[in-house]
Chains A and B, each alone.
Chain A
Amino acid sequence: MTQILRAFAIAVVAVVGIATPAMAQLDSAEATATLTAVLPESLSVSLIPGAVTFTLTSGSATNAGNLPISVTTTWTLAVTRTDVALYAYFSNASAALVHTIPASTVDIPSSRVEVSINGAAVLALDQTVVFGGASAGRRIFTQSLTALTASSSRTDSLALNINLATYALPADTYTGTLRLRARATP
């Protein structure tokens, strides 16, 4: 009996020693899943404040708006875009700000509305831009894009003025809508 147990023990040790000494880790084959993420393009413009008032002086070149407008342009664009531009415009060059009294026929043309961009010299809204009426706009900025600026934002300050020098205007309340819009190209 002792001999049998001894033989059995030797057999077990031998088998385990022979069968398993160099057993390597077992790896599965590689399985895969494809992940696809889409970040759509976006381009937005926001204004603060959304209203500006002017107290006009007849014949005066300087009739500044009571508040500057802070314009924030935000974009997330494809790397194929090379430029982004911001435009301000009225829909009608001859009547950017329209009289209120029905009997009046005189309005404030867009060429009399001026904008100072980030403190620079004032410029009339008399350009024909990609939006709005002919000769009723002004390009506020154009900025080149790189792969590193394809997603970004910027804020520009617009100070408005109404230049009434040599322009006869009846007393009245004049209102109009200045529109801003950005475009990425190509």
Chain B
Amino acid sequence: MKAYRWHGTITFVVWLISACSTSADTLTVSPVPVAVAFTLTHNGASNQGLTPIAVVTTWTTLAVTRTGLALYAYFGSASAALANTNPSATVHIPSSRIEVSVNGGANQSFTQTLPFGAASAGRQILSQAITALTLTGTRTDTLTFNINLSGYTLPAGTYVGVLRFRARATP
């Protein structure tokens, strides 16, 4: 009987060590497609991206201490999120002019300062609580994009930029 009790205790401790270990947890982000095109209209508030992006966030065997999960999207520069491909150009598209609708919600511009990317060049896409029952999971969020040029004077040209995604589990 005593041996049985010690066996159970040891089994639980081993499980606890395994659960608290940081070596097994993984967190990945996968956007599809990885390119979005826009055809702009001078001074137009509505310049929709031709296709939405589906972002799949996957996490496995997070430590039981994790309580939150967040996904961030951001640019490397707030003033030139999309840069004119002509080297002589000095006018670019700032991140504040790029808007995202998450799962059909209202458009929000990339004006937040996040843990990643440049200051005032990002947007938190999601925040989700993690419980003992959701230490492993996945979710897909649909992002539609718009470039708002209302009141913004932009030369004709081709503007290219890289939108970056990254997830973080805390603490």
Contacts and interface: CB of A to CB of B under 8 A. Distances in A.
Contact of A39 (B21, B36, B157): B157
Contacts of A29: 28-29, 166
Q: What bracket does the count of chain B residues touching chain A fall in?
A: 35 or more
Interface in A48-66: none
A30 B166 contact: yes
Contacts of A80: 86, 88
3 closest residue pairs by CB, A with B = A150-B155, A19-B20, A37-B38
Interface of B: 5-6, 9, 12-13, 16-17, 20-22, 25, 27-31, 33-42, 47, 49, 53, 55, 57, 62-63, 65-66, 81-82, 84, 86, 88-91, 93, 98, 116, 145, 147, 153-171
A25 B171 contact: yes
A171 B50 CA distance: 62
Interface of A: 4, 7-8, 11-12, 15-16, 19-20, 23-42, 76-80, 147-148, 150-152
A21 B136 CA distance: 22
A73 B90 CA distance: 23
Contacts of A7: 9
Instruction: Count chain B CB atoms within 10 A of each CB in A15, A42, A152 and give the residue with the most.
Output: A15
A4 B5 contact: yes
20 contacts: A8-B9, A8-B12, A15-B16, A27-B169, A29-B29, A30-B165, A30-B166, A34-B160, A35-B36, A35-B98, A36-B158, A36-B159, A37-B147, A39-B154, A41-B156, A76-B42, A76-B155, A79-B84, A80-B86, A150-B91
B64 to A, nearest CB: 9
B107 to A, nearest CB: 15
Given A15-B13, A26-B25, A147 B35 contact: no
B108 to A, nearest CB: 16
Contacts of A12: 12-13, 16
B167 A28 contact: yes
